[in-house]
Each structure stands twice: as structure tokens, then as C-alpha cells.
Amino acid sequence: RKEVEQDPGPFNVPEGATVAFNCTYSNSASQSFFWYRQDCRKEPKLLMSVYSSGNEDGRFTAQLNRASQYISLLIRDSKLSDSATYLCVVSTAGSNYQLIWGAGTKLIIKP
């Protein structure tokens, strides 16, 4: 079993729709959680950190469920520019906070 698992997609979503991804992680000792966005042939960029209480940044909402060991990302009112791959990332204290990466979920927003 992979340490961080994501549905690879692609998710084909009409512009303006709401879309949600989940990501599961296997290490219950994981402490920090992130969503990164990666455009084609570019480096990953931090989209948002995920806090225990959940957090929102504009159209993006991230949630953490420690009991079930998953995190989610919700995108409301999706834009064409949201088309990208979204990578779920987890880190664990005691490992120099090294990042464990999911393989990403590809999102395609269609006009």
C-alpha cells in the first residue's frame, strides 16, 4: 500500500462547478499536510497547508480527518485556470519533516 494515495483522475469538470478530491495516508503519526498544485512541466507549488480545524482560502477549502486518515480539497466555482495536477503531501515529525508525496489528481476544467 502506498503511503499517500490519490485518485489519478482525470476529473473533467465544467467551468463554474464544484469539485472535490480526497487523499488517504497510511502513517497515523503524520503531522503536517499540504496540497500542492503542479502545472504541466512545471515545479509543484504550495496551494495550501491543511490544519486540523480545516481551512479556507478563497474558493479552496481543505479538510483533515485524522480518524479516517484522509485529507480533502474542495474547489468552488472552478475556473479554467484551475486545470492542473493537485498533489497531496504529508510529512511526519522525526523524519526531518520529509515530504511524502501522492502521485496527484489531474483536474481539467472545461468551458
Partner 1 sequence: DAMVIQNPRYQVTQFGKPVTLSCSQTLNHNVMYWYQQKSSQAPKLLFHYYDKDFNNEADTPDNFQSRRPNTSFCFLDIRSPGLGDAAMYLCATSIRGLGYTFGSGTRLTVV
Least distance CB 92 / partner 1 (angstroms): 10
Least distance CB 76 / partner 1 (angstroms): 26
Least distance CB 77 / partner 1 (angstroms): 27
Query: Where does this chain bind partner 1 (CB under 8 A)?
Result: 4, 8, 41-46, 87, 91, 96-99, 101-104, 106
Q: Which of residues 10 and 14 has its CB atom nearest to partner 1 in the complex?
A: 10
**Strand runs labelled E in the chain:** 4-6, 11-14, 19-25, 30-38, 45-50, 55-57, 60-65, 70-75, 84-92, 99-101, 105-110
Q: Which of residues 68 and 96 has its CB atom nearest to partner 1 in the complex?
A: 96
Tell me which residue of 36, 21, 106, 104 sits closest to 70, measured CA to CA. Answer: 21
Least distance CB 96 / partner 1 (angstroms): 5
Q: Which of residues 7 and 15 has its CB atom nearest to partner 1 in the complex?
A: 7
63-96 CB burial, b ≥16 within 10 A, e <16: bbeeeeebbbbebeebeeebbbbbbbbbbbeeee
Q: Which of residues 32 and 69 has its CB atom nearest to partner 1 in the complex?
A: 32
